[in-house]
Amino acid sequence: MLEGSADLATALRNRRKISFSVLAITIVLAFSTLTIFFSKALDVLITPRIESARIDIRVVDGFAPKVFEKYLVFTSEVTFKAYQEGFESAEVVYKKNDGGTSLEIRMVALPSTVELRVDYDGDFILRIPSVDYTSSEREQVLELPEGLVEIYIEGPLLESFKKTLKISGRSISEEFVLKPTTVSTILNFKVSPEDAEVLVGNLPYSSKLGIYRIRLRKGQHTVQIRKDGYLSYSEKVRVKENESLNLGKLTLKPRPINAEFFTNPSGASVFIGDQYKGTTPFKTFLTPREKVSIKLRKRGYSQQTFDLTPKIDRDLSRRVNLAKRIFEVRVVSEPIAEVMLNGRIVGVTPLSLKTSVGDLIGAMADGYAPVEVPITGMTIDGNEYNFVLVLAGEKAFMDAPENYQLDGVEMKKIKGNLKGWKNYEISARGPIALDFFISTTEITTEAFYRYTGEEAGGSLPVTNVSWIKAVNYCNWLSEKQGLDRFYNLSTVSGVEVISFDPGSTGYRLLTKTEWLFAISDGKKGKLSTNFAWGTSIKDIPRGVGNLAGRETVNTTLKFISNYVDPFTKLSPVKSFRSSPLGIFDLSGNVREWLHNAGGVSSSYFGKDYGTGHLIAGSSFKSAQKEDLLLQNFETSSINASDVGFRLARTIR
């Protein structure tokens, strides 16, 4: 019984084992089926693959178990991280949806530890451009990346050196010996001064005695020598292989120094050696270590002479007080006069006295204008000063310029025959005038437009100008030259009041007596000839002026049948010959406003006021006998197309 029970139990156990085995197989088959359905098999490849190196691939994100040599990827993304000896770790993300069945992981080799030894004892520079490395050490240890690396070595006594090294990488230690070749070319020269700075190819060299023996690579080199106070030296030399080139002695020239010379007083002539160079204050350049002789000369002063030897790199400045030279002068005069020296009367001419440059010497006599001049040295006549005194009333005329120009107006000096305007008397003794300036032409549009501000003026006389505008122009010119106004214009109760200052030397219009003086050239007989050319209108010569001759036959009813000129209307000023006094267009072109108010007056400047002002002369419209008379005057208060004006100024 017991034996039967034992068999039953054994049978039950065996059945249970069979059941479990079937269940395990079923589960494995079910898992395999699910794995095939839900996962993707992936090959992971390492590049480069070093057979001797240990490799480790890890899944750092996602789910991808390794089955045999493949990875079963379950998640949409898996991050793999690879390790290989001698390489940097690499991390790659695989995306399941990309559809690939393999993944390549590229590894970057770690740099090699490289020991470089330069087999050379001299100066050099080692460069590795790819890693921006520079060194002048004979032995050096550094890390270099895998691949080809170019090494350059340069030195003053080395030929050009370049070598390409193959670096293994992967942290492998490597050693290289570099053997540059020394140059065989020698450059010899001597330098003066010995302590000058020497550069060859921008590299500095030194020598205690200034003797240089320099090894160079073949080719072109620039030799530079410089020192403060000297002109720099630079030369390009070309040397051949195995050549010994001798440049000889290279001597720097001292740099010219700045030299300044001052004298008291200034204006002295400067001579270097025997050559004139200029006047003080004077600047020049001198060469150091070269002796020069300096002479300073000024009229009336003793000559100063001295020698200079300029020093290197030291500018110089020399100030010299010139000593006055005392000399004797003789003073004569016409008439006999008192002699003045520095404002003090010292005697009567003729007189000899001692003076020096800068003294003031002069002469004075009753009724004559005193004269005084500075002593500047010996005169052309030696040591004699001859003064010709001028009557006091004539000095202003003597000092006045013969001609001058102001704002397009040319003024000319005229010598009159009247001492003062108060001495004027109407008489038959001929034309009378003060000393005065007169404009050589009628005022042009170019000159007048400077006053009005208009543009495009020219050489035609300005016309259609009222008497008031003409005298305002006179006052404008007076102010420009700093003269007192001759005319005073004001308004009282709405009425324009005009007055004038007879004592002013400002610009004004000609007076009637000045007009007669100018048109008769100051000659009494000419006023009796009726016309500027003579006594008869039939004798009119060609070129008298711009009158209404036959050229106007088509434009006017009245013309001079026995006269012709090139102009039917206005002509540019100076188109015809001048009068003997140098005045243009006194006959023809335009009639001219005068200063005088209308009416008879015994005053040089006429009446103080009147209903109009005088117009004198003839114009391009003049053809009637009465219009051509020398003493053709009319009174008017309105402007006209053939009326202009000219200027005058009293000289006093």
**pLDDT for 208:** 83
Identify whether the C-beta of residue 166 lies closer than 8 Å to the C-beta of residue 109: no
**pLDDT for 174:** 93
Q: Is pLDDT of 3 > 80?
A: no
Report pLDDT digits (tens) over 630-647. 888 999 999 999 999 999
- Kindly provide the b/e burial profile for residues 89-98, where b requires at least 16 CB atoms within 10 angstroms of the residue's own CB: ebeeebebee
Mean pLDDT calculated for residue range 109-137: 93
Beta strand spans in 8-75 (E): 40-47, 55-61, 66-67, 70-73
Report pLDDT digits (tens) over 50-100. 888 888 999 999 999 988 889 999 999 999 999 998 899 999 999 988 878
pLDDT band at residue 425 using 50, 70 and 90 as cut-offs: low
Dist CA 287 CA 292 (whole Å): 9
- Which segment of 96-100, 309-313, 394-398, 420-424 scores lowest on mean pLDDT? 420-424
pLDDT band at residue 465 using 50, 70 and 90 as cut-offs: very high
| Among candidate residues 535, 545, 511, the one with its CA nearest the CA of residue 622 | 545
Contacts of 414 (CB under 8 A, 6+ apart): 433, 435, 436, 437, 438, 517, 518, 522, 581
How crowded is residue 71: how many other Cβ atoms within 10 Å of its Cβ?
Answer: 23
Mean pLDDT calculated for residue range 581-598: 95
pLDDT above 90: percentage of residues in the chain: 63
Dist CA 125 CA 141 (whole Å): 16
**pLDDT for 22:** 62
Identify whether the C-beta of residue 234 lies closer than 8 Å to the C-beta of residue 220: no
Of 14 and 246, the one with more pLDDT: 246
DSSP character at residue 189: E
Dist CA 27 CA 33 (whole Å): 10
Q: Is pLDDT of 463 > 90?
A: yes
Q: Is pLDDT of 376 > 80?
A: no
Contacts of 492 (CB under 8 A, 6+ apart): none
Dist CA 106 CA 501 (whole Å): 113
**pLDDT for 460:** 97
CA distance from start to end of the chain: 182
Report pLDDT digits (tens) over 502-546. 999 999 999 999 999 999 888 876 777 788 888 888 889 999 999
Q: Which phi and psi (to 5°) does residue 154 adopt?
A: -130, 145
